[in-house]
Amino acid sequence: MSRAQRPGEPTPFETDPAGEVADRPETWKVEHSAEAYRGAKTATRVDHVHMPGPDGDEVVAREFLDHPGAVAALALDERDRVLMVSQYRHPVGHRLWELPAGVRDEEGEPPLATAQRELREEAGFRAERWYELADFFPSPGFSSERIHIFLGRGLTRLDEAEVGFDRVHEETDMVLRWVPLEEAAEAALAGRLHNGAAVVGVLAAAKAAADSFASLRPAVA
């Protein structure tokens, strides 16, 4: 049985009558933290966090994936076609259509530089102009991963010497395809695309196309 609400206590579902709809940083007190496992690029942590309880604060364990973050590059050509790659993803047992993307595993490398590198290495292209497209947490309930998506225009095809990258493992048999932006957005809405960064990036780009991308902010390193 739930306890009675105390006088003056806010209801569980308090409404916010005004203000900009925008996320904000906030950190609750951590009593102690421990690393449960460390892999090649990520780790699993358990934080014991002070949280509101029925009778005041209580310390609750929260297990999460400590992730360095990732980027994705939505490359759009002069015909408004998106460069997409098909790649096998073992954890989900699918071959997914994605944007060129990668983990931020180079110490001190800005997100934009990582996106430029991934576009070069995975797809063999360089973009002349870059814009901020989306910035999101794909699984905030159990992972600290943050993904930045950049839109690149003014594309140039690179030769193998300029790419300077040997594709191995999942990247060995990647397939590249130019997909009209409208078609890619329809695929996302129809549930035919499942990669989170691809869905978010494609739909954000389709929205931005309504004003010829004038609303996008130039990306800076």
Asked whether 98 and 198 are in contact (CB, 8 A), the reply is: yes
Q: 2 in a domain, yes or no?
A: no
- Distance separating alpha carbons of residues 89 and 108, to the nearest angstrom: 27
Q: What residues act catalytically?
A: 171
In total, how many domains does the chain have?
A: 2
160 and 75, same domain (yes or no): yes
Q: Do both 190 and 120 map to the same domain?
A: yes
- Residue 24's Cβ-count burial label (10 Å; 0-12, 13-18, 19+) is exposed
Unique residue bearing structure tokens 């991963």: 145
Give the residue among 110, 116, 130 at the shortest CA–CA distance from 221.
110
Residue finishing a domain among 42, 66, 90: 66
Residues 123 and 105 in one domain: yes
The last residue of a domain, from among 22, 38, 66: 66
* Domain final residue, candidates 14, 41, 66: 66
pLDDT digits (tens, 9 = 90+) for 16-50: 777 889 999 999 999 999 999 998 889 999 999 99
Provide the residue range defining the domain that includes 164: 70-218
pLDDT digits (tens, 9 = 90+) for 97-132: 999 999 998 888 999 999 999 999 999 999 999 999
Encode pLDDT of 166-190 as tens digits: 655 566 678 999 999 999 999 999 9
Q: Which pLDDT band, with edges at 50, 70 and 90, does 157 fall under?
A: very high
**Residue at 6 is within a domain:** no
The answer on pLDDT for 10 being more than 80 is no
Q: Are residues 125 and 192 in the same domain?
A: yes
* CATH number of the domain within which 115 lies: 3.90.79.10
Do the domain assignments include residue 13?
A: no
Q: How many CB atoms lie within 10 A of CB 203?
A: 16
